[in-house]
Chains A and B, each alone.
Chain A
Amino acid sequence: MNTEFEIIAALADGKEWATKLVYESNASIVINALKLKGAAQEDAEDIYQEAMLILFNKAQEEAFRFTCKIGTYLYAISNNLWLKRFDKNRRSPILQTDSEQLMVYAESALDSDMEFFAEKEQQFLKLRTAMQQLGDPCAKLLNNFYKKEMTMQEIAHAFGYTNAENAKSQKYKCLARLKKIYSDL
């Protein structure tokens, strides 16, 4: 049996079993709670997925892993997302039964987690645009290294460089170009 700490650490590390475990053990509780508040199934599922992404992001901070109550956090974040995004015009008071669950995570802390996530996403979006403008073969080379996690040896072979050293210096040139495009965006 894994402790919450081990699970969240594995999730932060991208281990699929941990993602699956966390996803499946909290999905029905959170989605049903959102539906009780008036969310449609579809919206509730989307919010839950986004809450998982925010959890993943937050779990990159080691300090958070020690204190995290995974289920409560997902519940609180999902609730906050729902209130902020889909329930904006209703302004109905939060149901009393929530307060106990939500107290563990202050709304302001949840807000800042959401903002942090949004900022990250914005940077990623910019990076993707930069990658797009970078074009091949550089984009392909960087993707092979960072996304597909190929070794420099494999990349040298795939791109026809004489050796890994040459491929490496090409990779750094590509990185420098990407960074230039990124900062000019």
Chain B
Amino acid sequence: MEKNIWEWSELYASNELSSDELIYLNNRLQNDDAFKIAFDDQVAFISNLQSMHKQDAFAAQLKALSSKKANNTKTLSKIVHLSINQWKVAAMAASVALLTSLLTLFLVKQEKPSKQYSMLRREIETIKKSQRQLINTLQSNDQSDLQPGSYTGTAFAISKEGYFITNYHVTEGADSLYLQTQSGNYQKAIVVAYDKVSDLALLKVLKASKQAVDVPYAFAKSKINIGSSIFTLGFPNEEIVYKEGYISGKNGFEGDTMQYRLEMMAQPGQSGSPIIDSKGTIIGIIAGKDTELDGTTYAVSSSALMRLIASLPSEVHVNLPKINKLKKLSREEQIKKIQACVGVLQVYKSKS
């Protein structure tokens, strides 16, 4: 009976012990507490591993049975909420809503192939493509199921309870999200709610750190004027980067009223970065850039964020800060305070 404890655990979890061995094992479990604790723990772990593979196999059977075709054109436009205990559904719900406007327009074009429309389609394709480009794609390396940090985006704190905001397209189809803030904390985050149309996703970090985040800024309730100068802090690479520019258009891409058009350079990885005005008020969130016009960036306005927060079910409490503590500070001091609230979001995605 020279089995190590892992072997005992595994044979037990797989129901492969002979009756003699079971008697011996029972005896040992009764007389050796340390052994019992480790054994129970390991059996639970192995069972979990086994049932994961069993469920994966079942899910593969289901997938094969599905009649779903990729060219469906419907779009889910309402805000979808995910309660905390259903958070895992985030990934699934995201794939529910996997239908792009690109595809829709593709079909529209077939029906009505006017020149104007094909122009529009091209532009839409451009922005779709460029939005992807704002996600910093890292190289995947091996044949395992998950790509390590498939890509990164930026997210920033919006309340002291550990809620963060980023773009929906950053979290779309993600299996898991990890947020790293300047303090070096590496925290798992979940999607609590998202709005696909305005391209926003509300995140919550699972283990809020002991000292609550001090969110120094407030949020603009309505749009600010063209010409206002703005700046942003985001993660085009591993270090936080400051950029400035101005509002060049009251509406975003294709006249999108939920967006601003900005004159400011943006790079992959900056999706989800805050856009801040000179007084330190958050006025928007970077969403995409124009690939044709160098330096033109689009940002979701803060009112879309307000709308998302306002529509949350009552059990989710997000208290946006009401006081702007940055009003009278110099730009350097503003940045110092803001950067503690901005983090890099690592998105893990399984290969499909």
Which residues in A have some Cβ–Cβ distance to B below 8 Å?
A: 14, 16, 19-20, 23-24, 40-43, 45-46, 49-50, 52-53, 56-57, 60, 84-86, 88-89, 114-115, 118-125, 127-129, 131-133, 136, 139-140, 142-143, 146-147, 168-169, 172, 175-176, 178-179, 182, 185
Contact = CB atoms under 8 A, between A and B. Distances in A.
- List the 6 shortest-distance A-B pairs measured between CB atoms, nearest first: A172-B6, A121-B88, A132-B146, A19-B61, A124-B52, A46-B96
Contacts of A115: 85-86
A129 B96 contact: no
Interface string B70-91: 0010101011111001111100
B144 A132 contact: yes
B6 A175 contact: yes
A119 B52 CA distance: 12
A172 B7 contact: yes
Given A115-B85, A127-B52, A133-B148, 11 more contacts: A40-B74, A41-B72, A43-B96, A45-B66, A53-B55, A120-B51, A123-B48, A125-B175, A128-B350, A132-B144, A172-B4
Contacts of A85: 80-82, 86, 89, 93
Interface of B: 4, 6-7, 10, 42, 45-46, 48-59, 61-63, 65-68, 72, 74, 76, 78-82, 85-89, 92-93, 95-96, 99, 142, 144-146, 148, 175-176, 188, 311, 313, 348, 350
A56 B146 contact: no
Contacts of B88: 118, 121-122, 125
B268 to A, nearest CB: 23
A35 to B, nearest CB: 12
Contacts of A168: 7
Contact of B311 (A86, A89, A131, A132): A89
A182 B45 contact: yes
B56 A147 contact: yes
B44 to A, nearest CB: 10
Contact of A42 (B86, B92, B99, B144): B99
29 contacts: A14-B54, A14-B58, A16-B61, A20-B65, A23-B62, A23-B65, A40-B76, A42-B74, A46-B92, A46-B96, A53-B55, A53-B59, A57-B55, A85-B89, A86-B80, A88-B81, A89-B311, A118-B86, A118-B87, A118-B88, A118-B89, A124-B52, A129-B146, A129-B348, A132-B145, A132-B146, A139-B144, A172-B7, A179-B45
A85 B85 CA distance: 12
Nearest to A128: B146
Q: Select the residue from A60, A119, A122, A185 with max chain B CB neighbours within 10 A.
A: A122
Contacts of A40: 74, 76
Contact of A132 (B49, B86, B92, B148): B148
A115 B82 CA distance: 12
A14 B145 CA distance: 21
A53 B350 CA distance: 19
A173 to B, nearest CB: 9
Contacts of B6: 172, 175-176
B350 A14 contact: no
A114 B86 contact: yes
B72 A42 contact: yes
Contacts of A125: 88, 175-176
Contact of B49 (A42, A52, A84, A127): A127
A58 B82 CA distance: 22
Contacts of A60: 51
Nearest to B86: A118
Nearest to B175: A125
Contact of B53 (A23, A140, A147): A147
A94 to B, nearest CB: 18
Contacts of B61: 14, 16, 19-20
